[in-house]
Amino acid sequence: MKKISIYRPTSVDEAIQILSEHGTEAGVYAGGTDLLIRLKNRLKQAPTYLVDIKKIENLRYIKEDEQGGVLIGAATKIAEVANSDLLKQKYPMLVQAANMISSPELRNASTLGGDLLQEVWCQYLRGGYSCWRNGGYLCYGAIGDNSYYHSAMGGRLCYAVYPGDAATALIPYDARARLATPRGVKELSIEQLVPGDLMVDGRIQSHVVRYNEILTEVVLPPPKPGVRASFEKLRPRGVWDFAMASLAMCLQLQGQTIDDARVVFGGISGKPLRETAVENFLKGKTLSPSLKDDAIAVALANAAPLKYNATKIDMAKGLLASGLDKLSATA
């Protein structure tokens, strides 16, 4: 592991100042379940200066706001999200998803912010290949074994999938993210926060957070009436693994009629993939088990699987069918 220096600021402003001084050589250190492994893997983009934000107060909380929504501090542990009674009551699908993130031990260490902004887990990147995210100019996943960690929906230089589950589960609730920046607070939707592979500060990453910005808070708006939601995840092993494919779905019902829908796939693309074609198809329909065949037919029409991962698309469609089945049964 390369030599590193650690700063322990006590305020967000101080942390931003340190990050600004060191540029892309510095990185935020919270749970460490992604960052420390990047360092251990000797990745070129791993920071030399760690800015440990665990000593900063007011970044670790789950609390209700005045409008009836919920605010979650970015340094809140995934285990705390998974065990929160408030979240269980208001956003049960988010809790369901949090309980499927990694293993119990890692959920105790990793943070919500870390899950949202984690680096991809492509075996070529983590194995030290000189790929787009590691100082090189070629995606080895596009031409190698792409059965698990790579996109079946096309790519842009890097073909790794976005690995986080929290973003997939937050998008259907129209959650937003707050960032502390040198110019003040910036607020983005979760979709805007993790739009997939893009160049930020001269490097490829899945999120838009710049080198001198810190994700501080996730804002969940008040739950809508009549919402039924489900989270589905397929992975090679029952615990621990990242999604081969996942699905977060929220249907807002009036009686049995679907007033509004949010359908987001994870594990199949470079970003949490909101499938608006299925959402538009579902709106106005009567929720019933017979919907699933037609919903599957319109889903993921733009799929562009690589050589070994076409099965991800079948998995994702299967999750859509089972999700609609479950919501039909509970409605």
Partner 1 sequence: MEVIEGILIEPVGCLAEFPSGPFLELAFRLFNRKRKASQSGSRAYWHLLNLVQSAGKNLEESEKKLVETLELEAVAAANVYEDVVPALAELNGMGIKLFIATSLSGAATKCFLERHSLSEFFSGSWSSENSKGVKAAPLEAAIAGASLNPSHVMFLVDTLEGLKIAHTVGVQSILMMNDPDDARRLAMHNPSGGIVSLHELPDFIRLVAAENSTSR
Contacting positions for partner 1 (CB under 8 A): 23-24, 44, 132, 135-140, 142-144, 155-157, 159, 199, 201-204, 306-307
Instruction: Look at residues 94, 271, 89 and name the one whose alpha carbon lies nearest to residue 175.
Output: 94
CB 50 within 8 A of CB 6: yes
C-alpha distances in Å from residue 78, one per residue of 12, 90, 239, 309, 329 = 21, 17, 15, 29, 29
CA gap 95, 169 in Å, rounded = 9
The least distance separating partner 1 from the CB of residue 19, rounded to whole angstroms, comes to 15
The least distance separating partner 1 from the CB of residue 294, rounded to whole angstroms, comes to 29
Which CB atom, from 178 or from 203, has the smaller least distance to partner 1? 203
CA gap 67, 224 in Å, rounded = 12
Q: What sign results for the dihedral spanned by CA atoms 96, 97, 98, 99?
A: positive
The least distance separating partner 1 from the CB of residue 94, rounded to whole angstroms, comes to 33
Which CB atom, from 150 or from 262, has the smaller least distance to partner 1? 150
Which CB atom, from 72 or from 139, has the smaller least distance to partner 1? 139
The least distance separating partner 1 from the CB of residue 296, rounded to whole angstroms, comes to 26
Instruction: Look at residues 302, 218, 294, 223 and name the one whose alpha carbon lies nearest to residue 260.
Output: 223
CA gap 125, 38 in Å, rounded = 9
Which CB atom, from 11 or from 41, has the smaller least distance to partner 1? 41
The least distance separating partner 1 from the CB of residue 270, rounded to whole angstroms, comes to 13
Which CB atom, from 87 or from 139, has the smaller least distance to partner 1? 139
Residue entry with tokens 């594990």: 267
